[in-house]
Amino acid sequence: MELNKRQEQILQIVKDYGPITGESIAEKLNLTRATLRPDLAILTMAGYLEARPRVGYFYTGKTGTQLFADKIKK
């Protein structure tokens, strides 16, 4: 799966500052949380990020290849 530029920026922010809330990510990118919601959903569903209530988003540490391999195993 290819990520767009904003999704790559989000991943880098979460790697550097995680766990981090969606609101904090939006502030760092000078965007609204509503603007980021689709990207955060894609990154979470793809397995790059995990989200926890009252904690925020954090990086799973998995690469695209590892995520693909996990899907095949299932």
Query: Tell me: the pLDDT tens digits for 19-33?
Result: 999 999 999 999 999
- Is the pLDDT at 63 greater than 80, yes or no? no
Q: Residue 18 CA to chain centroid, in angstroms?
A: 10
- Amino acid letter for position 52: R
DSSP at 48: S
Q: Please tell me the pTM assigned to this model.
A: 0.81
- Is the pLDDT at 71 greater than 70, yes or no? no
Q: What is the mean pLDDT of residues 36-65?
A: 88
Query: What is the bridge-based pairing of β-strands 56-59 and 49-52?
Result: antiparallel
